[in-house]
């Protein structure tokens, strides 16, 4: 069976991109990384992708008059490579409604909080300021509303009394690198279905879509 082709969109260092590339090296992994696209020519993740033998494309957003025209060019780059799933990995562009509409239920994102808590930016500091005891990360389908698409899976980590934003971010990032490849595997295996904004994972108990870590 042919492997699912995944396109990854990045704007920076691409650590989650690297986790997906590494997972795809396994012979039994059901997906391959077809391309990495960035809106920033200097994004560090581009060099990592090239070193791994993954094709890269730069589409500078500043060259376009509006978000949708940029999104349509990015989409065309993905489509000509046969991409079946788009994975956002630190892609720092708010997309026009057209893009998630065109890729409906075929575009995912990973966010460093337990959504719907703490959407947007400065997420770890938001968690610390709120005094929560548990934070984590969420992989969700992308919709036109920021950080609010159907939740696929989450990973939880403790928020420790002496945490600052950087320490908490590092703890969450380790779980992001576990969770994202797992969700892409489920998608590639055809296990995900969406109904009324709820995601079911065939063959996986509901409790198994929430990972817990005691890693300090």
Q: What positions carry a catalytic annotation?
A: 111
Ordered DSSP codes for 162-189: T--HHHHHHHHHHHHHHHHHHHHHHHHT
Q: Could you tell me which residues come within 8 angstroms of residue 202 by beta carbon, excluding any fewer than 6 positions away? A: 190, 191, 192, 193
Distance CA 89, CA 164 (A): 23
Spatial separation of the C-alpha atoms in residues 111 and 90, rounded to whole Å: 9
- Pairwise CA distance, residues 92 & 40, whole Å: 10
At 95 the three-state DSSP class reads coil
DSSP class of residue 25 equals T
Tell me the chain's radius of gyration from C-alpha atoms: 17
């Amino acid at each position: 069976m042919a492997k699912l082709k995944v396109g990854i969109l990045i704007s920076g260092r691409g650590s989650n991109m690297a986790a997906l590339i590494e997972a795809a090296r396994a012979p039994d992994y059901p997906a391959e990384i077809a391309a990495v696209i960035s809106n920033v020519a200097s994004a560090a993740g581009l060099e990592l992708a090239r070193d791994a033998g993954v094709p890269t494309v730069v589409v500078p957003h500043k060259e376009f008059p509006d978000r949708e025209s940029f999104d349509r060019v990015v989409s065309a780059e993905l489509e000509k490579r046969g991409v079946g799933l788009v994975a956002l990995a630190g892609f720092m562009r708010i997309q026009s409604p057209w893009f998630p509409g065109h890729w409906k239920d075929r575009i995912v994102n990973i966010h460093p909080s337990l959504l719907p808590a703490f959407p947007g930016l400065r997420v770890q500091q938001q968690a610390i300021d709120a005094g929560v005891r548990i934070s984590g990360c969420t992989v969700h389908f992308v919709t036109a509303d920021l950080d609010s698409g159907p939740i696929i899976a989450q990973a939880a980590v403790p928020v420790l009394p002496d945490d600052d934003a950087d320490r908490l971010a590092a703890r969450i990032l380790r779980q992001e690198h576990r969770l994202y490849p797992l969700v892409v595997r489920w998608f590639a295996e055809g296990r995900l279905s969406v109904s009324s904004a709820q995601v079911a994972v065939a063959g996986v108990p509901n409790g198994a879509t929430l990972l817990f870590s005691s890693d300090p």
